[in-house]
Amino acid sequence: MSLLNGKNVLIFGVANDHSIAWGIAKEMHNEGATIALSYAAEILERRVKPLAESIGVTFVEECDVTSDDQIDQLFAKMEKEFGTLDILVHAIAFANREDLLGRYLDTSREGFRLAMDVSVYSFTALARASRPLMKPGGSMVTMTYYGSQKVIPRYNVMGVAKAALEATVRYLAADLGPEGIRVNALSAGPIRTLAAAGIPKFKQLHREFMQVAPLREGITPKDIGDAAVWISSDKASKITGEVLFIDSGYNILGLTVPTDSL
């Protein structure tokens, strides 16, 4: 019996075949879910449409999540075609590159506003739009990173945004819990994606991670997809408001130097 049989899933954040959102789409599809995809802008269409076709997805819609009108239009279409929604996946983040160089101290007001709007507020907006389509048993999932809790060099305003996103998860979980809707965040270890390419010296961060993470294993979009399947399934029906780490154990470390050098 597949874990997500009969569930309708709407996934935001597929940019290409390296995207975490795509890893989640594939695993949820494998578990019997019916998938709908949304991507940010027309320029991504030629990458996203063939991916969608490869798993038989026909609902593929553009939506810039900074636009309430575009969100409304997308959900109206979703309601018309699917009627109900069981799982919302939010795998979206953005910050200006200049705000990921140098110090957090120098973040501009506009850079802060933009990072918060795209990476944090959008989850609230999508949760609100999803709610009328969700029945008890619904699940909402977003993507976070450890830079929300500890200082990671150059993660800067994105770390502050992820802290706000994790707080958002708790407030939404409290609001929607009485309706039987669960809200959780998955905290992924570093994965080479388009968004990660925007983080200066990501390769070094990734190398260091591989040397010290307890499992010594890199994280893949499939790993996140597997966790997203489980947390959205009825097997996790009493879990809400949580941040679940999928990071080969990195977050438990107090000292991140290779132990063989001590």
We find the least distance from the C-beta atom of residue 11 to ligand NAD, in angstroms, to be 10
CA distance readout (Å), 70 to 12, 45, 61, 67, 145: 13, 16, 10, 5, 27
Choose, from 39, 145, 146, 250, the residue flagged as catalytic. Answer: 145
H helix intervals, 58-215: 68-82, 109-116, 122-130, 156-176, 194-197, 202-212
Minimum CB distance to ligand NAD smaller for 13 or for 225: 13
- Which residues lie below 8 Å from residue 223, measured CB to CB, with a gap of 6+? 23, 188, 246
Q: Could you tell me which of 181, 162, 167 has the C-alpha nearest to residue 116?
A: 162
Q: How far is the CB of 246 from ligand NAD (least distance, A)?
A: 9
Residues in touch with ligand NAD (CB under 6 A):
13-15, 19-21, 40, 64-66, 91-94, 118, 143-145, 188, 190-191, 193-196
- Least distance CB 260 / ligand NAD (angstroms): 25
Catalytic residue among 39, 104, 121, 155: 155
145 has catalytic annotation: yes
| Least distance (Å) between residue 51 CB and ligand NAD | 11
Half-sphere exposure in the Cβ direction for 244 (13 Å, CA):
21
155 among known catalytic residues: yes
Which active-site residues does the annotation give?
145, 155
